[in-house]
């Protein structure tokens, strides 16, 4: 426990604290409008976003695995949280958040942090872009000040609401939103040290309050006044029915939280040259999401943009994240009533810009240009995120990516019959095999690729289909088989037993360590016989030729091997030359 808290504070100095104080102040100011905006977009009161920013922000910094991580509510959660609130209510959102927290905590305890990194990129880009579309379109009504808009879970229904009520457009809202958006886009060039969203929010709110008061919808008029009281402890009411209903949503929240927090930590590593602890990061995220709902907060994770801002402003330790939470707390206590006067039209451009930045347009277009199976996974995940729900999109995206990966891997497996090349006795070639040059008693197959459940049918069909007879010896060149699963072993054992039942032998060459371990664990290695495993193909051929039926060689005209002249009783000088040679294949 002592290491958990203090290993990142060695050599901490007053100068470090000054840097953390400045960066924490800047990030805290940025986090306030974002916290409220994400909460509103998620269908809950704006103060719940502030509570999340305070509590989760402090806990993630203290217990997480990244020195510079800034945690809080993020846009990635919006579609999931909105769906939970609309279907099950706010209390069940808190339950889902706590369940996700326990999942994240256990993932960290059981050291599953590295596994999240293996989620295919097309899946993450697809659902991230889909979320961006949902966030962006979800702010159209506030941008234009549309009235009587009813929120739905389905994207199509929400778009229909906008089209039907577009005639209620409010010119004052549009003006307010355009002012806010313009300042957000252009202020970084004029005032690079001051957060653009904060300037846009404040100036557009002031202009609206001075020049056209009561003409635009505000946080207070829509959601009620924001309380400046501290969040109160409240234990959500758990029921088995609620747990059963919310388990899927909680899992998606946990996966999103884990993915985004670890991506943010990786970004921080790249900017600072440090290395985060992924399992500790998941534990910290879990603790934050278990405790935050007890005070009314919504799910939280590492925020990439805020973490990058934290680093750019000189942060040196997790203290900056703690200060960021304290700054938000002070603002809540002192300025909450003023926040109630913020127009929704001032906040809409903030979320629209967040959506645009998280859309990953360049990466999306790049994957599409490849025109591979990854493009299919990307598009399907994206469309399902937009038109169904995130849970379905992630599940289908992962399953589809796995199926297509198996298909690609199975296509890579090749099984080719070969013989020693007469012009280069150091290699086995499939091109020299034909009806006039093929040993009836010894068959050699070169296998390249993983021998796993997705490829076993092709493996067996190829071998049994090409042989067309039952040779005395089957040589399997396994030097290019890096992996074998139990399905591959089972299929291989069937071939071995079939050959042994008819008096034949199966010989293997170049067997790599992983397949060898599988064969030893299942007993197939001993069943084949240790003396029938060779390092080089030439050794295997020499062994095979000692175990064939010599009487079948008499009169054979194939001459597949150099020894065939002697075995076939080839007369004269040719027979003498062939008898003096040995098989030299070493591959």
Please give the full DSSP string across 39-86, using - where no structure is assigned: HHHTTS-HHHHHHHHHHHHHHHHHHSS-TT--EE--GGGHHHHHHHHH
Question: What pLDDT, on the 0 to 100 scale, is given for residue 579?
Answer: 37
Closest CA to 253 of 136, 404, 122, 96: 96
pLDDT at residue 11 greater than cutoff 80: no
Question: What pLDDT, on the 0 to 100 scale, is given for residue 8?
Answer: 63
Give the confidence band of 10 by pLDDT, cuts at 50, 70, 90.
low
Question: What pLDDT, on the 0 to 100 scale, is given for residue 581?
Answer: 41
- Name the more confident of 571 and 229: 229
Does one domain contain both 262 and 383? yes
Does one domain contain both 224 and 107? yes
Least confident window among 2-6, 86-90, 99-103, 533-537: 2-6
Least confident window among 126-130, 248-252, 360-364, 429-433: 429-433
The whole-number average pLDDT for the span 113-141 is 89
Reading the block at residue 143, the tokens are: 């941008």
Does one domain contain both 371 and 454? no
Does one domain contain both 497 and 553? yes
Question: What pLDDT, on the 0 to 100 scale, is given for residue 342?
Answer: 93
What DSSP assignment string belongs to 230-257? PPPP------HHHHHHHHHHHHHHHHHH
Count how many Cα atoms sit within 13 Å of the Cα of residue 347 in the half-sphere of its side chain: 27
Query: Are 530 and 497 contacting, i.e. CB atoms less than 8 angstroms apart?
Result: no
What 3-state class would DSSP assign to 296? coil
- Is residue 7 situated within a structural domain? no
- Name the more confident of 583 and 169: 169
User: Mind listing the pLDDT tens digit for each residue in 405-428?
Assistant: 888 888 889 998 888 877 766 678
DSSP 118: G
What 3-state class would DSSP assign to 360? coil
pLDDT at residue 177 greater than cutoff 90: yes
The proportion of the chain whose per-residue pLDDT surpasses 70, expressed as a percent, equals 92
Question: What pLDDT, on the 0 to 100 scale, is given for residue 551?
Answer: 75
Query: Are 83 and 249 contacting, i.e. CB atoms less than 8 angstroms apart?
Result: yes
Does one domain contain both 460 and 327? no
CA angle 31, 34, 38 (to 5 degrees): 135
CA distance 115 to 128: 19
- Is residue 6 situated within a structural domain? no
The whole-number average pLDDT for the span 420-446 is 76
- Enclosing domain of residue 260: 16-401
Does one domain contain both 387 and 442? no
Question: What pLDDT, on the 0 to 100 scale, is given for residue 6?
Answer: 57
- Is residue 389 situated within a structural domain? yes
Does one domain contain both 327 and 453? no
- Name the more confident of 329 and 580: 329
What 3-state class would DSSP assign to 508? strand
pLDDT at residue 578 greater than cutoff 50: no
- List, in sequence order, every residue forming a beta bridge with 477; answer none if it has no partner: 446, 509
- Is residue 181 situated within a structural domain? yes
pLDDT at residue 471 greater than cutoff 60: yes
Least confident window among 50-59, 115-124, 315-324, 352-361: 115-124
pLDDT at residue 1 greater than cutoff 60: no
Question: What pLDDT, on the 0 to 100 scale, is given for residue 369?
Answer: 94
Least confident window among 164-173, 232-241, 576-585: 576-585
User: Mind listing the pLDDT tens digit for each residue in 255-287?
Assistant: 999 999 998 998 899 889 989 999 999 999 999
Question: What pLDDT, on the 0 to 100 scale, is given for residue 573?
Answer: 39
Does one domain contain both 293 and 350? yes
CA distance 51 to 293: 9
Question: What pLDDT, on the 0 to 100 scale, is given for residue 101?
Answer: 97
The proportion of the chain whose per-residue pLDDT surpasses 90, expressed as a percent, equals 61
Question: What pLDDT, on the 0 to 100 scale, is given for residue 427?
Answer: 77
**Considering all CA atoms of the chain, what is the largest pairwise distance in Å, rounded to the nearest integer?**
114
Does one domain contain both 378 and 455? no
Give the confidence band of 365 by pLDDT, cuts at 50, 70, 90.
very high
Reading the block at residue 106, the tokens are: 């256990």
CA distance 286 to 175: 42
The predicted model scores a pTM of 0.80
Question: What pLDDT, on the 0 to 100 scale, is given for residue 104?
Answer: 97
How many domains does the chain contain in total? 2
Question: What pLDDT, on the 0 to 100 scale, is given for residue 176?
Answer: 97
Give the confidence band of 467 by pLDDT, cuts at 50, 70, 90.
low
Give the confidence band of 3 by pLDDT, cuts at 50, 70, 90.
low
Give φ, ψ of 73 to 5 degrees. -65, 145
Average pLDDT over the chain reads: 88
- Is residue 97 situated within a structural domain? yes
Query: Domain ends where: 368, 401, 434?
Result: 401
pLDDT at residue 575 greater than cutoff 90: no
The single residue listed with the structure tokens 């991230």 is 128
The whole-number average pLDDT for the span 304-325 is 93
Reading the block at residue 451, the tokens are: 């021998």
Reading the block at residue 479, the tokens are: 């030097």
Give the confidence band of 512 by pLDDT, cuts at 50, 70, 90.
very high
Closest CA to 101 of 289, 253, 297: 289
Does one domain contain both 383 and 484? no
User: What CATH number did the domain enclosing 508 receive?
Assistant: 3.30.750.24
pLDDT at residue 572 greater than cutoff 90: no
Question: What pLDDT, on the 0 to 100 scale, is given for residue 431?
Answer: 72
User: Mind listing the pLDDT tens digit for each residue in 299-312?
Assistant: 999 998 899 999 98
DSSP H stretches of helix in 66-139: 78-88, 90-109, 121-138
- Is residue 264 situated within a structural domain? yes
Give φ, ψ of 388 to 5 degrees. -120, -100
Question: What pLDDT, on the 0 to 100 scale, is given for residue 288?
Answer: 97
Query: Domain ends where: 401, 431, 454?
Result: 401
Does one domain contain both 335 and 462? no
Query: Are 60 and 302 contacting, i.e. CB atoms less than 8 angstroms apart?
Result: yes
What DSSP assignment string belongs to 366-422? HHHHH-SHHHHHHHHHHHHHHHS-HHHHHHHHHHHHHHHHHHHHHHH-EEEEEEEET
pLDDT at residue 570 greater than cutoff 60: no
Does one domain contain both 427 and 394? no
- Name the more confident of 533 and 502: 533
Least confident window among 81-90, 440-449, 458-467: 458-467
Question: What pLDDT, on the 0 to 100 scale, is given for residue 554?
Answer: 75
The burial class, CB within 10 Å (0-12 / 13-18 / 19+), for 546 is exposed
- Is residue 408 situated within a structural domain? no
- Is residue 5 situated within a structural domain? no
Give the confidence band of 463 by pLDDT, cuts at 50, 70, 90.
confident
Query: Domain ends where: 348, 375, 401?
Result: 401
State how far the alpha carbon of 102 is from the alpha carbons of 206, 231, 287, 379, 464, in Å: 43, 22, 8, 32, 52
């Amino acid at each position: 426990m002592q290491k958990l808290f203090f290993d990142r504070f060695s050599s901490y100095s007053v100068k470090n604290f000054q840097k953390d104080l400045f960066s924490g102040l800047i990030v805290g100011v940025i986090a306030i409008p974002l916290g409220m905006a994400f909460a509103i977009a998620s269908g809950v009161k704006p103060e719940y976003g502030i509570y999340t920013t305070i509590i989760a922000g402090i806990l993630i910094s203290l217990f997480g695995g990244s020195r510079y991580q800034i945690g809080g509510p993020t846009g990635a959660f919006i579609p999931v949280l909105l769906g939970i609130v609309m279907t099950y209510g706010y209390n069940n959102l808190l339950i889902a958040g706590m369940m996700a927290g326990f999942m994240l905590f256990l993932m960290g305890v059981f050291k599953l942090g590295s596994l999240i990194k293996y989620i295919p990129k097309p899946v993450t880009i697809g659902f991230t872009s889909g979320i961006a579309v949902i966030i962006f379109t979800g702010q159209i009504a506030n941008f234009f000040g549309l009235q009587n808009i009813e929120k739905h879970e389905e994207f199509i229904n929400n778009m229909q609401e906008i089209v039907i009520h577009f005639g209620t457009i409010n010119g004052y809202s549009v003006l307010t939103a355009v002012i806010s958006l313009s300042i957000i886009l252009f202020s970084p060039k004029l005032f690079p040290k001051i957060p653009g969203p904060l300037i846009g929010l404040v100036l557009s709110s002031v202009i609206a309050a001075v020049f056209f008061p009561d003409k635009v919808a505000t946080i207070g008029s829509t959601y009620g006044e924001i309380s400046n009281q501290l969040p109160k402890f409240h234990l959500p009411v758990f029921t088995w029915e609620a747990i059963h209903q919310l388990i899927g949503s909680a899992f998606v929240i946990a996966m999103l939280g884990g993915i985004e927090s670890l991506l943010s930590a990786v970004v921080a590593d790249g900017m600072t040259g440090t290395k985060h602890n992924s399992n500790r990061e998941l534990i910290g995220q879990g603790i934050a999401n278990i405790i935050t709902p007890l005070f009314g907060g919504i799910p939280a994770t590492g925020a990439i943009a805020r973490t990058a801002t934290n680093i750019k402003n000189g942060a040196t330790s997790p203290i900056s994240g703690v200060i960021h939470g304290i700054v938000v707390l002070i603002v809540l206590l002192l300025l909450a009533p003023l926040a109630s006067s913020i127009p929704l039209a001032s906040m809409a451009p903030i979320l629209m810009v967040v959506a645009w930045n998280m859309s990953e347009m360049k990466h999306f277009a790049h994957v599409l240009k490849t025109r591979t199976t990854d493009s299919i996974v990307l598009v399907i995940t994206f469309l399902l995120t937009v038109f169904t729900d995130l849970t379905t999109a992630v599940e289908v995206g992962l399953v589809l990516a796995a199926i297509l990966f198996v298909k690609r891997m199975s296509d890579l497996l090749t099984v080719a019959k070969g013989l020693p090349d007469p012009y280069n006795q150091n290699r086995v070639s499939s091109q020299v095999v034909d009806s006039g040059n093929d040993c009836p008693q010894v068959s050699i197959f070169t296998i390249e690729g993983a021998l796993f459940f997705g490829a076993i049918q092709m493996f067996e069909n190829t071998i049994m289909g090409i042989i067309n007879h039952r040779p005395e010896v089957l040589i399997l060149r396994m030097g290019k088989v890096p992996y074998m699963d139990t399905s591959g072993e089972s299929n291989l054992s069937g071939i071995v037993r079939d050959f042994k039942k008819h008096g034949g032998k199966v010989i293997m060459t170049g067997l790599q360590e992983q397949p060898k371990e599988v064969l030893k664990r299942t007993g197939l290695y001993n069943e084949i016989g240790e003396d029938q495993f060779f390092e080089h193909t030439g050794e295997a051929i020499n062994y095979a030729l000692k175990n064939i039926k010599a009487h079948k060689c008499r009169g054979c005209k194939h001459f597949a091997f150099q020894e065939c002249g002697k075995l076939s009783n080839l007369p004269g000088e040719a027979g003498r030359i062939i008898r003096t040679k040995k098989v030299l294949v070493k591959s």
